[in-house]
Chains A and B, each alone.
Chain A
């Protein structure tokens, strides 16, 4: 992993190097994230706080630095997550589509190889994701769900911590452009 010095902001578009992934790697990692979300909490309920699909979407959006790829990955992961949940299709899909898009947009501007940036962005996007999801639940589904700021903040923190480790692990699978 290479850090671009102490700078956080990238100077130009050409300074940002998009990482490439093999297609089967992307599919496998996405599928593993979905599996983790639906399977692991069965045996380890304490791990249910982890939002693996979201972290994977953020990671691919960061690394690919392409908004199209980011929103596509987000839409697919969100819809897959919706399909395996009781919610109507599109709730997670729309949220993760937006997350993927904005994560890719940020990845173009910021040095997302830096672990601190990754940590902060992962936390921010988790917060954004659940805020948007809560908003859609109230607006589109008319569900009176309370937004638990404190709990969501803690979960965002925990997911960001796991996300940094996960991103470091997933860096092994990327190929230089």
Chain B
């Protein structure tokens, strides 16, 4: 019996196990009742592990999700940084463009109001010499440039032409040791010779110790050298040292303060009055007018201002249309009747076509001026409203001007035909009154033509 059991042990165990499960199954099916105890055991055994697995899974998923999110945030941060850098570059570029436009506008305004005949030029290079202060401009003899002509900016004198090539010219800057020009103090009326020093400052020589020159005083060209017309700003005195027989005066040139991009070459210089008031030394920047601060007559002037862009002209035209129809832009509910933009406005007003705006401003109605323009000597007799208006000295008449210098229409037309001057260079520009009153330094009675051999030293 025992051997029989051993022999069939496996099948016996199988049958027993199967039988037991069949009984279990039968009990459940017959009684329709679950054996809960076994399920409780199974669930109790499985659920803790399942919970741990779930925690592990959720933790892993959260870790991966956070990692991905963090990586996305990192990517986004990198993209934003790149965009920020690009926008900064773009901003700098636009600022430079705006600055260039402002400078060009200031130059054109200055060119329109100076009685001298000028030629706009761009600085295109510098000299290769380490010590010399020379630059090249993109106007040469083909454009009418000759050796000995003065080079200025609205801020002050820059230098003089020392060599004129067909397509370019070489300008000796006022900081070059070989440069010299006659200057006169604004308040002390001290005459001297401006000399370059090879440094950013210049010195004024041959001012006797008796002259009362103080730091901060402006110096202007005296016109004695027959290169620079009288009345162009030169710079402000930085320091004065009393010595015998001449004072040692260091002067900070104003024409080079804001860099050299655009300059004006004086084809025919005209003497001007030296302003009486102090000069603001700020950069040339044409700030927009404060809202509501623009007088009505200036508004009218600005409507005819042709130195603005097409957008400015369009803006002025729409403003005039709104005024003519009593319409205020920005008001009114949606759907209300808009103003008629096709009406004809009175000639000469803002409704003038864009082409009409190309007429240069008259001396009495100048375009908008730089907020802190340099010396008003460059301005006409009637200074612009927004300019800190230094008036001509009462005891000093404007420089003597030759009859053929800008007063006649023929000469004005000739001036406007220089081709390089902006449209704002006014043919109707009025020359300043003659500078022949008593007390006025001697001024040349003839137009300042460049000499064939300009003196390096006075």
A98 to B42, CA, bound (A): 21
Stretch at the interface among B45-53, B209-217, B429-437: B45-53
Partner of A83 from the list B10, B42, B57 (CB cut-off 8 Å) is: B42
A88 to B33, CA, bound (A): 9
Contacts of A75 in B (CB 8 A): 17, 21
Give the total of A residues in contact with B, Cβ under 8 Å.
26
Contacts of B42 in A (CB 8 A): 79-80, 83-84
B25 within 8 A of A: yes
Taking a contact as CB atoms under 8 Å apart, the answer to whether B24 and A90 are in contact is yes
Partner of B13 from the list A35, A71, A80 (CB cut-off 8 Å) is: A71
A89 to B38, CA, bound (A): 9
**A94, chain B: closest CB distance, angstroms:** 5
Taking a contact as CB atoms under 8 Å apart, the answer to whether B46 and A67 are in contact is no
Contacts of B18 in A (CB 8 A): 94, 97-98
Taking a contact as CB atoms under 8 Å apart, the answer to whether B29 and A140 are in contact is yes
Give the total of B residues in contact with A, Cβ under 8 Å.
27
* Bitwise interface map of B from 349 to 386 toward A, beta carbon under 8 Å scored 1, else 0: 00000000000000000000000000000000000000
**A68, chain B: closest CB distance, angstroms:** 6
Interface of chain A, main secondary structure? helix
B22 within 8 A of A: yes
A38 within 8 A of B: yes
Taking a contact as CB atoms under 8 Å apart, the answer to whether B46 and A38 are in contact is yes
B26-42 contacts to A, CB under 8 A, are 26, 28-29, 34-35, 38-39, 41-42
Contacts of B57 in A (CB 8 A): 43
Contacts of B22 in A (CB 8 A): 90, 94, 140
Chain B residue with Cβ nearest A80: B42
Contacts of A35 in B (CB 8 A): 46, 49-50, 53
Taking a contact as CB atoms under 8 Å apart, the answer to whether A88 and B14 are in contact is no
Interface of chain B, main secondary structure? helix
Partner of A71 from the list B14, B34, B41 (CB cut-off 8 Å) is: B14
A39 within 8 A of B: yes
A93 within 8 A of B: yes
A79 to B10, CA, bound (A): 20
A98 to B38, CA, bound (A): 21
A34 within 8 A of B: yes
A164 to B57, CA, bound (A): 26
Contacts of B10 in A (CB 8 A): 67-68, 71, 101
A83-B41, A94-B18, A140-B29 in contact; A89/B35 too (CB < 8 A)?
yes
Contacts of A43 in B (CB 8 A): 57
B69 within 8 A of A: no
Contacts of A103 in B (CB 8 A): none
B43 within 8 A of A: yes
Contacts of B21 in A (CB 8 A): 75, 79, 89-90, 93-94, 97
A90-B21, A140-B25 in contact; A68/B13 too (CB < 8 A)?
yes
A83 to B21, CA, bound (A): 13
A68 to B53, CA, bound (A): 32
A165 within 8 A of B: no
Contacts of A9 in B (CB 8 A): none
**B65, chain A: closest CB distance, angstroms:** 14
Contacts of A34 in B (CB 8 A): 46
Taking a contact as CB atoms under 8 Å apart, the answer to whether B14 and A39 are in contact is no
**B40, chain A: closest CB distance, angstroms:** 8
Contacts of A90 in B (CB 8 A): 21-22, 24-25, 28
A116 within 8 A of B: no
Contacts of A154 in B (CB 8 A): none
Taking a contact as CB atoms under 8 Å apart, the answer to whether B28 and A31 are in contact is no
Contacts of B53 in A (CB 8 A): 35, 39
14 further A-B pairs in the complex, CB-CB below 8 A; given A35-B50, A71-B17, A83-B38: A31-B46, A34-B46, A35-B53, A39-B54, A43-B57, A79-B21, A79-B42, A83-B42, A88-B25, A89-B25, A94-B21, A94-B22, A97-B17, A101-B14
The 9 residue pairs across chains A and B that have the minimum distance between CB atoms: A83-B42, A90-B25, A90-B21, A67-B10, A88-B28, A83-B39, A93-B21, A90-B24, A94-B21
